[in-house]
Structure 1
Amino acid sequence: MKRIATAAALLTAALAAPAALTGPAATAGPVASAGPPPVALTVASYNIHAGIGTDGNFDLDRTASAIAATGADVVALQEVDRHWSDRSEYRSVVDELARKLHMHARFAPIYSLDPSGPGQPRREYGTAVLSRFPIAEFTNHELTRLSTQDSDAGPQPMPGFAEAVIRARGALVHVYSTHLDYRGDPSIRRRQVTETLDVLAADADAPRVLLGDFNAEPGAPELDPLWTDMDDAFAEAGAGEGLTYPAESPEKRIDYAAVSGQIEIRGARVGATELAATASDHRAVVAEVVTAR
């Protein structure tokens, strides 16, 4: 009789269970994650001067060591050659760096010129993104530029503004690598900032990281519109002065890591080692960030 009573009790409990699972109480607690968990990232911007150091020597092993020393998960590069000229031995700088560092790479040429000879690859120069995480999407956007290859050409739309969508532990982070105009007249940079904000606005709901050589110091009026949408990581949480150029004895902060409101800044720094001071004519700027849930 005891066994029959126990079986009856179990049957009663089983019959009651579906009502408990399908009733209002089933939806009272969390049933699914609201989104991917926060992800910590180290990001860096580095103008590598085509792999040429302050001694005038092309040395990709040194460049790779300088990038590795940042500890960055994602690195935006500027002044990147791919079979460009003898200054970088006509080598594909971006591809070799990716292999040396075991990182994914995408390249955004500003210039893509005819080969130096029959059967040779195209000569290209631009920006790039290196990432330890997979790159889900990539776009080479245009900005208004003055050509360094044609002195008679006026301002015109040209590519070289890289956007990589990084798949980092379930989060999709939009990372941009840019190189703004270097001339003393800020008018082209002003146009480039406006166009940059238009590109960033298309991804307004996503976490965004803008990295690059802006060729202007933080107080430059042409950069002001950027800071209405993005936060300057070094200004918010930097250690030291953050000067990046010229590398051997820096006097200016012209290299940046900027983030959108979906990203928390934990810290920012510029390298102070001999390698950081000699591997390029710029020092890299590095930021520690966390994506918000």
Structure 2
Amino acid sequence: MRRKPRDRKLSASILTAIRNRPGHRPLAANRGVGDTVIASYNVHKCVGVDKQFDPERTARVITELDADVIAIQEADKRFGQRSGLLDLDWLERTSGLVPVPINAMSPTGHGWHGNLILMRKGTVRNVRQLRLPGVEPRGALVVDFDFTGGKLRIIAAHLGLLRRSREQQAETIMAAFEAEETRPTLLIGDLNEWRVGKRSSLASLRPIFDPSSGAVPSFPSRFPVLALDRVLGHPHDLVTAVEVHDTPLARIASDHLPIKAHIDLAAVLAGETEVLPSFSGLSRESAIRSR
């Protein structure tokens, strides 16, 4: 049954409203002198919306981002040997990006449950690998960086498809946050949650992280309406801008668009905003696998 033109207009209006509702507009993306750019990209195992496996195309999108640190999801095959899918040598030669060293899940793999962090700026001080609960095997990386502007912790994750799994995974991440020394922290990755209010499966991240902050639509890549990919900061104003990287190449290279966040560590550490001690009251029971 064909839709009437009026129905099509109504559907388009609804989608426009979803994309432009409060909390889904990007923050201003003017990069300051002290800014560090952090990105997140679900590369969909290097398979584009055209169904073509093209790691070179994926790598070109990664270089387009021009970010200092990039959290990659689905960097490895899901089954079998879980081999890495990207040409890391090419990325280093062309963009200066190198992988944060971790205990990969196979000798030929890049990441931890598909999570890979690339960096070209800063020094890695510590790496922890979290096992996340849920129906599907999932994980997260917790990496402490030293940058010129100060110290930063990045928690890079790819949360599950099921709501209950995401709730459990968010609680595990908060427990890991509780167990760590307090410092400016980013939670970044494909969190698989588009809701930003009380119905969000990420509600347990409050008050440390604000799940509604800077949510910008990144999925599906050809007509993004859902903010599945997030960058959440603690303190909340650590992130000064969030934007979607929407280019012709990015629209076909994966079913997700990359997102970028601008952060100003110097402003946070100068005392313009307070880094709160952890106080969620969650158990410190460790789900941490140390290197």
Same fold (TM over 0.5): yes
State the partner residue of 1:103: 97
State the partner residue of 1:62: 57
Q: Is the 8 A contact 2:167 2:201 kept in 1?
A: yes
Q: Is the 8 A contact 2:73 2:190 kept in 1?
A: yes
Distance 1:143 1:194 in 2: 9
Q: Is the 8 A contact 1:85 1:123 kept in 2?
A: no
Amino acid at match of 1:106: V
Q: 1:196 aligns with which of 164, 170, 173?
A: 173
Q: 2:226 aligns with which of 252, 266, 291?
A: 252
Please give the secondary structure, in 1, of the residue aligned with 2:100. Answer: strand
Equivalent runs, 1:207-246 vs 2, <5 Å? 207-217=184-194, 218-219=196-197, 220-232=199-211, 235-236=212-213, 242-246=216-220
Q: Is the 8 A contact 1:108 1:126 kept in 2?
A: no
Q: Is the 8 A contact 1:237 1:266 kept in 2?
A: no
- Per the alignment, do residues 82 and 288 of structure 1 end up closer, same or farther by CA in structure 2, a change over 3 Å counting? same
Q: Is the 8 A contact 2:125 2:144 kept in 1?
A: yes
Q: 2:119 aligns with which of 117, 128, 131?
A: 131
Q: Shift of residue 164 of structure 1?
A: 1.5
State the partner residue of 1:177: 156
Q: Shift of residue 180 of structure 1?
A: 0.7
- Structure with greater strand share of residues: 1
Distance 1:46 1:95 in 2: 15
Q: Shift of residue 284 of structure 1?
A: 1.1
Q: Shift of residue 178 of structure 1?
A: 0.3
Amino acid at match of 1:102: G
- Per the alignment, do residues 68 and 122 of structure 1 end up closer, same or farther by CA in structure 2, a change over 3 Å counting? closer
Distance 1:257 1:70 in 2: 15
Q: Is the 8 A contact 2:73 2:115 kept in 1?
A: yes
State the partner residue of 2:40: 45
Q: Shift of residue 83 of structure 1?
A: 9.8
Question: What are structure 2's unaligned runs of at least 5 residues?
Answer: 1-32, 270-291
Q: 1:79 aligns with which of 74, 78, 86?
A: 74
Q: Which structure ranks higher in relative contact order (CA pairs < 8 Å, sequence separation ≥ 6)?
A: 2
Decide which structure has the larger Cα Rg and report it.
1
Structure-1-length-normalised TM-score: 0.69
Query: C-alpha root-mean-square deviation of aligned residues, in Å?
Result: 3.0
Amino acid at match of 1:78: Q
Question: Structure 1 vs Structure 2: percent identity of aligned residues?
Answer: 23
Deviates more, 1:282-291 or 1:168-177: 168-177
- Per the alignment, do residues 222 and 169 of structure 1 end up closer, same or farther by CA in structure 2, a change over 3 Å counting? same
Q: Shift of residue 52 of structure 1?
A: 1.6
State the partner residue of 2:131: 142
Distance 2:238 2:53 in 1: 37
Q: Is the 8 A contact 1:42 1:74 kept in 2?
A: yes
- Per the alignment, do residues 95 and 146 of structure 1 end up closer, same or farther by CA in structure 2, a change over 3 Å counting? farther
Post-superposition Cα deviations, 1:107-150, rounded to whole Å, max 9, x if no partner, equal 6678x36xxxxxx8579752011111232221111110323xxx
Q: Is the 8 A contact 1:180 1:213 kept in 2?
A: yes
Post-superposition Cα deviations, 1:204-258, rounded to whole Å, max 9, x if no partner, equal 52110110111111234321121311135xx5457xxx21111112221111000
Structure-2-length-normalised TM-score: 0.69
Amino acid at match of 1:104: V
Count of paired positions: 230
Question: What are structure 1's unaligned runs of at least 5 residues?
Answer: 1-37, 114-119, 148-157
Distance 2:257 2:114 in 1: 18
- Per the alignment, do residues 213 and 201 of structure 1 end up closer, same or farther by CA in structure 2, a change over 3 Å counting? same
Q: Is the 8 A contact 2:98 2:118 kept in 1?
A: yes
Please give the secondary structure, in 2, of the residue aligned with 1:139. Answer: strand
